[in-house]
Amino acid sequence: MKNNLVDFQKIAIAVHPKNDQAYKLAEKIAASLTKDGKQILLGRMDEKSLRDGICNDCQDLLIALGGDGTMLRAGHICAPTNTPILGINLGRFGFLTEIQKDEWKNALKRVLRGDYWLEKRMMLLTSMYRGDEKIGQWNALNDAVISRGETIRPVQFEIFINTRQLSTIVADAVITSTATGSTAYAMAAGGPILSPELRNIILVPVAPHLSIEQSLVLSEDVLVSVTVHTSHQAVISIDGQPPVDMKTGDRVEIQASDYAVQFIRFQDPGYFYRNLIPYMDQNPSIKKNNV
C-alpha cells in the first residue's frame, strides 16, 4: 500500500442520524483516538455543528459510520475541503464503505501509519433554471434524477448535449449518473456499470414510451441540458434526497463538478470487480424470509 505522510490530528466522526448503535461505536472510536492525542469532532450526520466543524475547521479526516446513504452525505460535506473519508459499514450494501464494524481498530492503526491509498470519485454539478433565474445548484456523488411526481404519468424531456439537441423523449425519468452512481438507480434502470475511477456522465431514460431506450456514456467535458414539459408534477432529486418541485419549462444543466470525493482504501485497486458479483448475487436489500 502507498505510504501517505499525513499527520491526522483533527478527526471528525459522523454517524447515521437515526442509528444509536452506530453512535455507541463512534464513542468507542473517539475514546481510542483521544488516547492517541487526536482532536475529535463527534456527531450525527444531520447536526449543523458537525457539518460546520468539518467545513470550517479543516478536519484532516472523516470517519463515517453507516451505509451507502451515510457515505453519500459524507461526500457532500467533505468534497469542498478535500477531506478524505473512511467508511465503516453498518448498512446493507456497503458499495462505498471500506471496512466492517469489527475491523475498526486495525483500520485506524493502518490509517495513522499511512498504510492506505486514496480513491477519487467524480461528482456532478447540477443546476436548475426557471427562465434565466437559477433556482438551485447541487453537487451529486451518485446521480441527479429528473422524474415525474406523484401522478403516474410520464413527462416529456427535451435533451441537449452541449448545444446540440439529442432527442425529445417521453419517460418516467431521466437519470444522469457518475461512475459511482452506475451501481445505484442507473443500474436498476438498465444502465451500464462503470469502474468507479472513470470520469464519465451516464444518461439513462427510465421507462421510455415510444422513445429512445438506450443509455449513453458521455465524456466528462460535456454539458447535458434537460428541459421538462409537463401538465402535471415533475421533480428533481439529488443522490436520493427529498425531491425539489419543477415546473414545465424548467431546465436542468448537468456537468462534471470541480469537486471530487476521496475515499480511504486498504484493498487493492481491483476490489471493485472482485466485490461486484457477490453483491449482485446476494442482494442484501432482499430479506431472507421473503419467498
Pairing of strands 173-177, 143-148: antiparallel
C-alpha cell at position 38: 487526536
3-state secondary structure of 64: strand
Sequence-distant (6+) residues with CB within 8 A of 128 are 134, 135, 136, 137, 236, 244, 246, 250, 251, 252, 253
> Running DSSP on this structure, what letter comes out for residue 3?
B
Determine whether 60 is an active site residue: no
Strand partners for 65? 15, 88
Task: Count the Cβ atoms, other than its own, within 10 Å of residue 100.
Answer: 12
**CA separation for the pair 56, 53 (Å, rounded):** 5
CA distances (Å), 268 to each of 121, 157, 259, 275, in order?
16, 41, 24, 12
The one catalytic residue among 36, 52, 60, 68: 68
Residue pair 153/173 in contact by the 8 Å Cβ criterion: no
User: 69's torsion region: left (phi>0), alpha (psi -120 to 50) or beta?
Assistant: alpha
Identify the DSSP state of 289. T
Q: Taking each helix axis as running N to C, give the angle between helix 68-78 and helix 48-56, from 0 to 180 degrees, rounded to the nearest 10.
A: 50
Which residues are designated catalytic? 68
